[in-house]
Amino acid sequence: MASPFSPGSHGNMHQEMAKLHLANDLVDKARRYARVPPPRYSDVFPSGPLSKIAGVRLPDRPPSTQWDISIADGRIAAVDAHDPELSGRQCPPGVLDGANRLLAPSLCHAHIHLDKCFLLQDPKFSDLQIENGDFQEAMEMTGKAKSRFEDDDLLRRGRQLIEESIHHGVTAMRAFVEVDGGVQFKCLDAGLKLKDEFQDRCEIQICAFAQLPLFSGDDGGEEVRRLMAKAALREGVEVIGSTPYVEQDIVKSKMNVSWISLLALANGLHLDLHLDYFLEESKQPLIWATLDIIKSRNWNERTDKRITLGHCTRLTRFGETEWQRLKQDIGKLPVAFVGLPTSDLFMMRTQENVRGTLPVVDMIQKYGLEVSIAVNNVGNAFTPYGSCDPLSIASLGVGIYQAGTKKDAEILYQTVSSRAKASIGCESTSCELRIGELADFVLFDRMDAGWRCRKSIVEVVYDAGSSRQTIRRGKMTAY
């Protein structure tokens, strides 16, 4: 074999140098392209509106029957017995062959943090790993991560969360983005960009959120209040929220509720509070004062916006009298609760190792309250386990709430679908798939699933599988 320095080696050296230059050029291009956002989904997978979904099973009909769903202007136009002529052959344009699969209302994240997702997986934050697994550590770790937030990683992680959610069947979500003296409007700016980027595929409600105190701290929360007041004026912000339980005492917690509720009213925004995030019976819940403050604002007379209360783990200590009082005190206020079981069970425990999360099924069935469940966090110190799939939370609910009957399963599905959308003020599609409702669906299983094909809502809640197609406003958004 010729030496690199032999006369016949020059040609080889030129070839190797050319390969090296080509490789460097490709690496340089890859780096440049990595900074460019991906193209819109519709540009890569163009999809016109569907006029019909043929040959599907429906949640409230016998599983042995098949139906055709006609769609016009993004809404259900008709529900008819299946025409066999539409099966087993190439469907005409605008007609989707349902192949005897289950078609159900699409899913919803009633409560998810867009800016804090995947911190434990992102290489940028690989030095921040859980050691204690408690609430204080989660706050400190998240604070360190937030000090390094930049537009590129906020968009990269947020885009991943939304994309995965859509593939699980999500067509609507309330996304929390934090506003404070450290991040300023970085998280909000990224959230608004993603809202615009995904507007054709998912309804993203942006909640400008004060995780830090509004009336405690070195400056008494003045800077957070100033920034939140500006955030409430931003185009695209639909919700304003805060965490009264992080204030240093009960007086300041009430001031938090009073200030943030007035800000919501003044700007015509929905209100979302992370409330009563503790379990100790010795600590009194803020729910009673919160309802009194909101009622004193004449909420119903001044706005049609909703009030959503997340966590509320202290309510798990309520007895029958307190539940009945809660129902009465809410009255006609548009209040909805959101249980967040994965975060609650991981974060909330007493010294006696008592754990708790809102008893969602009982709250609906026994007390007629508006309740949903949600993912909350994905891949961070508050919730290091779980995925972007709302149905994984519904499935977990079977065990948490001992809710295994057909009726229970149908309620659990609603808590991540129609009830979830209603709790955040989004138009929803019911399991009855009524004419005029939005054509927002999820189609379960592969066309060749055979006898394992899910035939009912019960089967989906027990085990939803991983193969789904998502349809929003009559258009395919995920294959």
The string of pLDDT tens digits covering residues 170-219 is 999 999 999 999 999 999 999 999 999 999 999 999 999 999 999 998 88
Judged by DSSP in three states, 463 sits in: coil
pLDDT of residue 64: 84
> Would you state the structure tokens that stand for residue 318, as one six-digit string?
């309520």
292 or 93, higher pLDDT: 292
Taking the CB of residue 113, how many other CB atoms lie within 10 A of it?
26
Most confident of 18-22, 42-46, 61-65: 61-65
258-270 in b/e burial notation, b at 16+ Cβ within 10 A?
Answer: bbbbebbbebebb
> What does the alpha-carbon distance between residue 85 and residue 99 come to, in Å, rounded to a whole number?
13
For the chain, give every domain's residue range.
44-105+431-478, 107-423
Are residues 122 and 157 in contact, defined by beta-carbon separation less than 8 angstroms?
A: yes
Rounded to the nearest 5°, which phi and psi values hold at 276? 50, 50
pLDDT of residue 194: 98
Does 313 score more than 90 pLDDT?
yes
Q: What is the pLDDT of residues 124-167, one digit of tens each?
A: 999 999 998 888 899 899 999 999 999 999 999 999 999 999 99
Confidence of residue 44 (pLDDT cuts 50, 70, 90): very low
Does 339 score more than 90 pLDDT?
yes
Confidence of residue 1 (pLDDT cuts 50, 70, 90): very low
Query: In Å, how far from its chain's centre is CA 292?
Result: 29
> What does the alpha-carbon distance between residue 82 and residue 79 come to, in Å, rounded to a whole number?
9
Share of the chain above pLDDT 90, in %: 75
Are residues 443 and 98 in contact, defined by beta-carbon separation less than 8 angstroms?
A: yes
Kindly state the DSSP code that residue 37 receives in the 8-state scheme: P
452 or 403, higher pLDDT: 403
Alpha helices per DSSP H over 276-370: 287-296, 299-302, 320-330, 341-347, 360-365
> Model-level pTM?
0.88
Topology of the domain covering 44-105+431-478 = Urease, subunit C; domain 1 (2.30.40)
Pairing of strands 75-81, 67-72: antiparallel
Does 427 score more than 50 pLDDT?
yes
> Would you state the structure tokens that stand for residue 357, as one six-digit string?
């999360």
Q: Right CATH number for 107-423 from 3.30.930.10, 3.40.50.800, 3.20.20.140, 3.90.850.10?
A: 3.20.20.140
Does 63 score more than 90 pLDDT?
no
Rounded to the nearest 5°, which phi and psi values hold at 265? -65, -45
At 432, which helix (H) or strand (E)?
Answer: none
Are residues 180 and 210 in contact, defined by beta-carbon separation less than 8 angstroms?
A: yes
Does 23 score more than 60 pLDDT?
no
> What does the alpha-carbon distance between residue 94 and residue 209 come to, in Å, rounded to a whole number?
41
Alpha helices per DSSP H over 276-417: 287-296, 299-302, 320-330, 341-347, 360-365, 390-400, 406-415
At 200, which helix (H) or strand (E)?
Answer: none
Q: What is the pLDDT of residues 350-402, one digit of tens each?
A: 777 778 899 999 999 999 999 999 999 999 999 999 999 999 999 999 999 99
pLDDT of residue 11: 52
> What is the pLDDT of the chain when averaged over all its residues?
89
Are residues 440 and 471 in contact, defined by beta-carbon separation less than 8 angstroms?
A: yes
Q: What is the pLDDT of residues 428-460, one digit of tens each?
A: 999 999 999 999 999 999 877 778 889 999 999
SS3 content of the chain, % helix, strand, coil (to 5): 40, 20, 40
The number of CA neighbours under 13 Å toward the Cβ of 318 is 23
pLDDT of residue 84: 84
Rounded to the nearest 5°, which phi and psi values hold at 266? -65, -25
Confidence of residue 16 (pLDDT cuts 50, 70, 90): low
Rounded to the nearest 5°, which phi and psi values hold at 462? -65, -45
pLDDT of residue 17: 56
Does 312 score more than 70 pLDDT?
yes
What's at 301, amino acid-wise?
E
pLDDT of residue 27: 44
Residue with tokens 């615009």, as numbered in its chain: 196
